[in-house]
Amino acid sequence: MAIRLSIPGKSFLAGEYLALSGGPALLFMSEPRFEIIAQAGTGQLIGIHPESPAGKLWTANKDFFQNFDLIFKDGYKGQGGFGASTAQFLAVYALNAWQESVYHEPQKLLDYKHLLETYWQHAWNGEGTRPSGADLIGQLKGALTIFERASGKIAIQGWPFENLDFVLAHTGNKVPTHEHLKSLGEFPTEGLFKAFQQIEKGLNEHSEANLLNGVHHYAEVLRGLGFTCEPTLKLLSDVHSIPGVKAAKGCGALGADVLFIIFEKSQTASVVEAIEKKGLKIVTKRSQVGAGLEVQTI
């Protein structure tokens, strides 16, 4: 018998940087998915670096994991920005929780506070800013997740806008999040928080205007704080020139890896063609929303 753990990709649609201090984040969980296969073996890690957070958790529980081989399969084929590292950690954590008989259904019963504490133990050495771990919660829960650690809020959202659609496009660039966080100092969050509130209001009230203004405002505040890298600023300028595009922003550390692009659904075909002509690769669409952590025997 083997166990397959399947985890969605993740993208911060909004809330990156806010989440670092416990503030709210909006995350989109997407197909394709990551997988880890755990099968009887001799303790081999295949596709997981031993110094990654997942690798360190594996080492800390080696007495158990020495009886398994763990095989990682990357549905994004090495394209950064979609949560491969946190997907690996979540899978290893779920396996370890299972073997301790703490949870019989880890995809439903994982304690997010314990999950985050365990993650920080293995993902942060005390230098710079601690990672938020919000992406872990999103990958656990799936769909469109709003998570606010300070209040304990976890909400699963739908996409209520009949006239709007979005894609996530890979830029081909990469900023390692852990390296960025090492040099990240304190920064004001008021502007980001106000913009996020407008985005959330748009989702809750089905208001296109609030959503689009909130995304635009969030992107502008990020730029003002110096949290959008120059290549992404150029790409965003190009994307905004496409007819039908209503809002766009970079996702994650310095907005480097992935762009979140909202457009009029009636112009989907022409917008997608224009995005690809800009040299961007569309990796996932709104329709490819993914469920959270899934565990099955095979």
Report the 3 state secondary structure along the chain. Answer: CCEEEEEEEEEEEECCCHHHHCCEEEEEEEEEEEEEEEEECCCCEECCCCCCHHHHHHHHCHHHHCCEEEEEEECCCCCCCCCHHHHHHHHHHHHHHHHCCCCCCHHHHCCHHHHHHHHHHHHCCCCCCCCCCHHHHHHHHECEEEEECCCCEEEEECCCCCCEEEEEEECCCCCCHHHHHHCCCCCCCHHHHHHHHHHHHHHHHCCHHHHHHHHHHHHHHHHHCCCCCHHHHHHHHHHHCCCCEEEEEEECHHHCCEEEEEEEHHHHHHHHHHHHHCCCEEEEEHHHECECCEEEEC
| Mean per-residue pLDDT of the chain | 94
Q: What is the pLDDT of residue 174?
A: 87
The domain segmentation of the chain, as residue ranges, is 3-158+289-297, 164-287
Its sign, for the CA torsion 213, 218, 219, 221, is positive
CB 9, CB 82: distance < 8 Å = yes
Domain 3-158+289-297 fold: Ribosomal Protein S5; domain 2 (3.30.230)
Residue type, 73: K
pLDDT, tens digit (0-9, with 9 covering 90-100), for 14-56: 999 999 999 999 999 999 999 999 999 999 999 999 999 999 9
Q: What is the pLDDT of residue 175?
A: 85
Stronger pLDDT, 105 or 139, i.e. the higher one: 139
Q: What is the pLDDT of residue 100?
A: 62
Tell how strand 258-264 and strand 245-251 pair up. antiparallel
Superfamily of domain 164-287: GHMP kinase, C-terminal domain (3.30.70.890)
pTM of the complete model? 0.93
Q: Which residue has the tokens 């730029």?
A: 223
Q: How far apart are CA 5 and CA 296, in angstroms?
A: 7
Q: What token pair was written down for 175?
A: 């900023």
Length of the chain: 298
pLDDT, tens digit (0-9, with 9 covering 90-100), for 197-231: 999 999 999 999 999 999 999 999 999 999 999 99
